[in-house]
């Protein structure tokens, strides 16, 4: 079977103004300059038009719109043969506060996209899901056939979108590929997530709020490696209807990451503040991504040691990117999320 060709095609990237979506757009056009990218993005608090600065204007159509809006979706998808859906409400803590928005975008939005993709007859639809759909994995690592047991409103909504996209393959033959990636880090990650929050707080000598014991474990993958896996799956032959885990096999707990960041920034451990835990905090996620490697040959190229140094350097060099964010509505969010949080004596679970 032949790989699908991207040459001269239109590719719709929803959520392309967010963290992973924007990194994907930059990478796609660097490798395939003849592709035309359409970004559909609602520019929520997490989406930034400037994340696409540097993309040649002739290669990009930006549609400011919502994936829940069939008209905006039809406008954006017109003429596109490839679709990648990154658009989502993506932060677990916010999903605990406002779960409804997550269900709206991460489930209903996927429905609107799938309907239009079916009508248009796209060649491939990549639904960017997450390893959090498996829920807490205390031992071993989840393969794609593991049961889904999402435990946060974010993870549950993503599981809904994940299986809805799959249902469009089973029912209507929409050529869907579902991906479940572990935690990403890298440039332009919105500073509500662990790595960018702690890097930017530490630069400003602000406390680093570690939830509970700080022993919660995640697998950490550099965003470029995630984007390369997605690029591979966008065109790889014969994988319609398949689900692929994407991971680095590099598990770290929050305290180890925190210590690494403090060391790289030459800041003291006294910045660590143990605070009241996140409700329902999943202790561990771990995915087995051997299927992706076996089928496509993809493997991660960037070690955590290298990727985290590069990421810290990026945040140091790009204060003009994150300072305005942290001074705006983010302050209200931060006060709401962290202001009333009980400080723990030290590492209580």
144 is catalytic: no
Which is catalytic among the residues 66, 132, 224, 282? Answer: 132
CB distance 253 to 50 below 8 Å: no
- List the single partner that 17 binds among ligand TYD, ligand NAD, none, CB under 5 to 8 Å by kind: ligand NAD
131 is catalytic: yes
Residues that bind ligand TYD (CB under 6 A): 92, 183, 193-194, 197, 209-211, 216, 218, 254
> CB 285 → ligand TYD: shortest distance, Å?
7
Please give the Cα distance from 284 to 257 (Å, whole number). 14
Of the candidates 24, 264, 36, 45, the residue with the CA atom closest to the CA atom of residue 128: 24
Q: Which of residues 188-207 bind ligand NAD (CB under 6 A)?
A: 190
Which is catalytic among the residues 89, 106, 131, 228? Answer: 131
For the purposes of burial, counting CB atoms within 10 Å of the CB of 305, is it exposed (0-12), middle (13-18) or buried (19 or more)? exposed
Asked if 103 interacts with ligand NAD (CB under 6 A), we say: no
Please give the Cα distance from 200 to 322 (Å, whole number). 8
Tokens coding 155: 């993870």
3-state secondary structure of 271: helix
Asked if 12 interacts with ligand NAD (CB under 6 A), we say: no
Nearer to ligand NAD (CB atom), residue 86 or residue 236: 86
> CB 283 → ligand NAD: shortest distance, Å?
17
Asked if 21 interacts with ligand NAD (CB under 6 A), we say: yes
Please give the Cα distance from 251 to 183 (Å, whole number). 10
Of the candidates 2, 58, 50, 64, the residue with the CA atom closest to the CA atom of residue 22: 50
Q: Which of residues 136-175 bind ligand NAD (CB under 6 A)?
A: 158
Of the candidates 181, 179, 288, the residue with the CA atom closest to the CA atom of residue 239: 179
Asked if 88 interacts with ligand NAD (CB under 6 A), we say: yes
3-state secondary structure of 177: strand
Which range of residues in 9-17, 111-119, 169-177, 316-324 is near ligand NAD by CB under 6 A?
9-17
Which is catalytic among the residues 134, 154, 168, 274? Answer: 154
Tokens coding 266: 């030459």
3-state secondary structure of 178: strand
Of the candidates 47, 160, 171, 174, the residue with the CA atom closest to the CA atom of residue 108: 160
Asked if 19 interacts with ligand NAD (CB under 6 A), we say: yes
- List the single partner that 87 binds among ligand TYD, ligand NAD, none, CB under 5 to 8 Å by kind: ligand NAD
Residue of minimal Cβ distance to ligand NAD: 18
Please give the Cα distance from 169 to 149 (Å, whole number). 22
| Size of interface with ligand NAD, in residues (CB under 6 A) | 30
Please spell the DSSP secondary structure of 196-212, one letter per residue.
HHHHHHHHTT--EEEET
- List the single partner that 209 binds among ligand TYD, ligand NAD, none, CB under 5 to 8 Å by kind: ligand TYD
| Residues within the interface to ligand NAD (CB under 6 A) | 14-15, 17-21, 41-44, 46-47, 66-68, 86-90, 105, 109, 128, 130, 158, 181, 183-184, 190
Which residues are part of the catalytic machinery?
131-132, 154
């Amino acid at each position: 079977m032949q790989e699908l060709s991207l040459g001269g095609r239109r590719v719709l990237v929803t959520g392309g103004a967010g963290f992973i979506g924007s990194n994907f757009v930059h990478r796609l056009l660097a490798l395939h300059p003849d592709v035309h990218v359409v970004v559909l993005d609602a520019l929520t608090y997490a989406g930034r038009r400037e994340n696409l600065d540097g993309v040649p204007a002739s290669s990009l159509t930006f549609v400011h719109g919502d994936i829940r809006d069939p008209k905006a979706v039809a406008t954006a998808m017109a003429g596109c043969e490839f679709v990648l859906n990154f658009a989502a409400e993506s932060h677990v803590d916010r999903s605990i506060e406002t779960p409804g928005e997550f269900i709206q975008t991460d489930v209903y939005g996927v429905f609107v996209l799938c309907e239009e993709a079916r009508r248009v007859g796209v060649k491939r639809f990549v639904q960017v899901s997450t390893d959090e759909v498996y829920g807490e994995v205390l031992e071993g690592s989840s393969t794609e056939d593991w049961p889904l047991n999402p435990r946060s409103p974010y993870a549950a909504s993503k599981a809904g979108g994940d299986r809805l996209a799959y249902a469009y393959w089973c029912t209507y033959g929409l050529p869907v590929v579902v991906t479940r990636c572990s935690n990403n880090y890298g440039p332009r990650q919105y500073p509500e997530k662990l790595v960018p929050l702690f890097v930017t707080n530490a630069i400003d000598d602000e406390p680093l709020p570690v939830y509970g014991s700080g022993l919660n474990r995640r697998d950490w993958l550099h965003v470029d490696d995630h984007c390369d896996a997605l690029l591979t799956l966008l065109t790889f032959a014969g994988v319609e209807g398949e689900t692929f885990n994407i991971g680095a096999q590099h598990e770290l707990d929050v305290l180890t990451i925190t210590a690494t960041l403090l060391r790289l920034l030459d800041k003291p451990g006294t910045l660590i503040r143990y605070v009241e835990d996140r409700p329902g905090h999943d202790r561990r996620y771990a995915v087995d991504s051997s299927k992706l490697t076996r089928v496509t040959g993809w493997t991660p190229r960037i070690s955590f040691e290298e990727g985290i140094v590069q990421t810290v350097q990026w945040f140091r060099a790009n204060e003009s990117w994150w300072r305005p964010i942290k001074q705006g509505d983010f302050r209200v969010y931060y006060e709401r999320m962290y202001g009333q949080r009980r400080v723990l004596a030290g590492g209580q679970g």
